[in-house]
């Protein structure tokens, strides 16, 4: 067992911010709190920050799809160029032990910028393989061993299991559905609700989420 700090393994966190707001963003606030609390418990970490809210990746195109499905050795220079950003985003994901996605819910689902990031990184022969010999489950994740932390903010409320807005909340279910292709099986979620109401319920939800985020960061950092 390592006895000296130089022998400890450094944790790499990849933080994805998806809010279009730079100020007054609740999801960014939760992301800041999570990272700060983690650093308070593990001072030496590697943090990779990708802010798709400020710099959204482009939507994939027909040329992008053709390049992705062409074997690497057979790609043209233009096809390699088309995948340059995708390669960079996947390399960031590959390095991460913990993936922290801080995102608002827009129109009951992912912000377009976050969906664009997902489409750039969920890619054949990089983050998943495809083999029809597997029958009706031909896709298989390539990455693994990561922890996914999802920090959300929504204007409405009641998106949890059995709650009255459950069928309208597509953000968290979508992220859970593709989490395997991001290399994560261990998933944690903390969210703020009632933002658009701005009443005591919102204040209570915000305060509870802040406490939960701090506790989650401490727990994960001490593992």
What is the three-state SS of 99-130?
A: EEEEEECECCECCHHHHHHHHHHCCECCCEEE
Tens of pLDDT, residues 109-168: 999 999 999 999 999 999 999 999 999 999 999 999 999 999 999 999 999 999 999 999
Confidence (pLDDT) at 121 = 98
CA distance 171 to 114: 10
Tens of pLDDT, residues 189-206: 999 999 999 999 999 999
In eight-state DSSP terms, residue 24 is: S
Q: Is the pTM of this model over 0.75?
A: yes
CA distances (Å), origin 153, targets 24, 26, 86, 195:
11, 6, 27, 7
Tens of pLDDT, residues 70-116: 999 999 999 999 999 999 999 999 999 999 999 999 999 999 999 99
Per-residue pLDDT for 6 more than 80? no
């Amino acid at each position: 067992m390592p006895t000296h700090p130089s022998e400890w393994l450094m944790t790499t966190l990849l933080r994805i911010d998806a809010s279009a707001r730079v100020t007054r963003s609740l999801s960014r606030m939760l992301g800041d709190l999570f990272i700060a609390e983690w650093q308070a418990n593990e001072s030496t970490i590697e943090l990779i920050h990708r802010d798709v809210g400020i710099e959204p990746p482009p939507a994939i195109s027909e040329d992008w799809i053709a390049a992705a499905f062409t074997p690497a050795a057979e790609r043209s220079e233009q096809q390699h160029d088309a995948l340059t950003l995708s390669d960079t985003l996947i390399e960031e994901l590959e390095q991460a032990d913990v993936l922290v996605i801080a995102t608002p819910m827009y129109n009951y689902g992912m912000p377009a910028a976050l969906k664009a990031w997902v489409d750039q990184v969920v890619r054949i022969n990089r983050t998943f393989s495809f083999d029809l010999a597997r029958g009706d489950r031909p896709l298989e994740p390539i990455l693994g061993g990561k922890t996914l932390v999802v920090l959300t903010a929504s204007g409405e409320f009641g998106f949890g299991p059995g709650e009255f807005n459950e069928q309208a909340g597509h953000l968290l279910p979508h992220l859970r559905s593709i989490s395997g292709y991001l290399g994560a099986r261990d998933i944690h979620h903390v969210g703020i609700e009632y933002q658009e109401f701005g009443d005591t319920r919102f204040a209570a939800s915000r305060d509870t989420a802040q406490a939960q985020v701090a506790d989650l960061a401490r727990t994960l950092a001490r593992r």
